[in-house]
């Protein structure tokens, strides 16, 4: 089976979809946005998760085309929700390393916003530490160009990679997402709780938004409220879901 060919045909045939996982603000206890997570509805195999195809797409370069589809689809969906009368929702998009290293990334992204009419201020681009630390000079140029468009920048899986803390202040970053491996055991492991608490305190004192990922239990959410964490995301609040279910969840809380 030629996976790369199947991916390309799948894109042409409309087999990809975005699912949306709620991001909850801990002050209002309301959904304020979503992370868009790609899914492939293969006609024979069924639902395929990104772990099965993202790294191949990255190796072959197909991720560039797929990444543009993801942003275009997220723009279309965000505007559709707004037209349905939902409150303005921030949509977070995962970027791949290859996408982030494109010379003309900000122009490509600007063209997608212009083409769809979506407001860049409603979008967050998630980057990982390894992506931003690869070549810090060119990272800084790219991040500045992206910030000029109006999008927000988030550092995803924070704490699992190697990022020099000095770059947290040099880079124009808006948000840290604490990796779920630090959140898993915060309710029973004091060391993990200490790490989460320290990351939150550091983020807040640098003026960054801080999001805890992988929250699966109420005890974890309660601890994070006490630590002044801004937002949470995880199965306890909602799994990644189809756009229509996400819209229902948002309307239900109005
Ligand atoms: O729900 P989950 O299985 O969706 O995601 C698995 C991994 O795939 C995560 O690391 C996530 O960041 C990545 N991923 C999900 N959607 C996208 C996407 O649209 N683009 C990229 N580059 N990665 C994605
Ligand atoms: O790598 P990234 O952080 O972009 O991907 C997020 C991944 O975490 C996705 O695969 C998503 O489905 C998954 N995820 C989201 N919430 C939870 C959770 O509460 N527990 C676990 N185990 N995974 C989660
Ligand atoms: Mn992510
Ligand atoms: Na993450």
Give the pLDDT confidence of 81-119 residue by residue, as tens digits: 999 999 999 999 999 999 999 999 999 999 999 999 999
Bridge-partner residues for 178, per DSSP?
158, 212
Ligand nearest 179 Cα, by number? 4
- The secondary structure element, H or E, covering residue 225 is helix 218-226
Residue 238 CA to residue 103 CA, distance in Å, equals 36
CA of 215 to the centre of ligand 2 (A): 9
Is the complex ipTM more than 0.90?
yes
Residues with Cβ within 8 Å of 188's Cβ and at least 6 positions away in sequence, in order, are none
pLDDT for the residue numbered 1: 63
Residue 188 CA to residue 52 CA, distance in Å, equals 32
Residue 180 CA to residue 217 CA, distance in Å, equals 12
Continuous H helices in 14-173: 54-60, 62-83, 97-100, 105-116, 129-133, 136-149, 165-170
- The atom number, within ligand 1, closest to the CA of 240 reads 1
- pTM value is 0.97
- The atom number, within ligand 2, closest to the CA of 216 reads 19
Identify the CA nearest to 53 among candidates 101, 100, 2, 128: 2
Identify the CA nearest to 100 among candidates 161, 154, 160, 162: 154
Q: Give the residues of the chain that fall short of pLDDT 50.
A: none
- Confirm or reject: Cβ of 154 under 6 Å from ligand 2: no
- Confirm or reject: Cβ of 192 under 6 Å from ligand 2: no
Listed by start position, the domains of the chain span 24-36+64-252
Q: Which CATH class is domain 24-36+64-252?
A: alpha beta
- The atom number, within ligand 2, closest to the CA of 156 reads 3
Nearest CA to ligand 2 atom 16: 234
CA of 81 to the centre of ligand 4 (A): 24
CA of 94 to the centre of ligand 1 (A): 6
Residue 237 CA to residue 32 CA, distance in Å, equals 12
The token pair at 83 is 């037209």
Are 233 and 215 in contact by the 8 Å Cβ rule? The answer is yes
CA of 76 to the centre of ligand 4 (A): 24
For CA atoms 232, 96, 120, 247, the dihedral sign is negative
CA of 107 to the centre of ligand 2 (A): 30
Nearest CA to ligand 2 atom 13: 214
pLDDT for the residue numbered 166: 85
Largest CA distance in the chain: 51
Residue 139 CA to residue 237 CA, distance in Å, equals 33
* SS3 label, residue 170: helix
Identify the CA nearest to 128 among candidates 89, 167, 90, 91: 167
């Amino acid at each position: 089976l030629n996976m790369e060919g199947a991916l390309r045909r799948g894109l042409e045939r409309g087999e990809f979809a975005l699912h949306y996982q709620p991001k909850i603000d801990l002050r209002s206890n309301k959904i304020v946005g979503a992370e868009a997570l790609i899914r492939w509805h293969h006609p024979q195999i069924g639902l395929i998760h990104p772990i099965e195809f993202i790294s191949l797409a990255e190796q072959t370069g197909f991720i560039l085309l797929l990444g543009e589809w993801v942003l275009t689809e997220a723009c279309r969906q965000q505007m559709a929700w707004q037209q349905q009368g939902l409150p303005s929702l921030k949509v977070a998009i995962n970027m791949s390393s290859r996408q982030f290293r494109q010379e003309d990334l900000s122009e490509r992204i600007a063209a997608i916003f212009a083409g769809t009419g979506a407001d860049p201020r409603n979008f967050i681009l998630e980057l990982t530490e390894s992506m931003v630390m690869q070549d810090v000079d060119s990272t800084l140029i790219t991040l500045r160009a992206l910030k000029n468009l109006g999008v927000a920048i988030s550092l995803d899986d924070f704490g699992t990679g190697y990022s020099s803390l000095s770059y947290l202040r040099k880079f124009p970053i808006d948000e840290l997402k604490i990796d779920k491996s630090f959140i898993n055991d915060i309710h029973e492991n004091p060391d993990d709780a200490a790490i989460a608490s320290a990351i939150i305190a550091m983020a807040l004192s640098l003026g960054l938004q801080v999001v805890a990922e992988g929250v699966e239990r109420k005890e974890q959410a309660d601890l994070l409220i006490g630590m002044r964490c801004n937002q949470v995301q995880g199965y306890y609040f909602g799994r990644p879901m189809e756009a229509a279910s996400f819209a229902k969840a948002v309307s239900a809380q109005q």
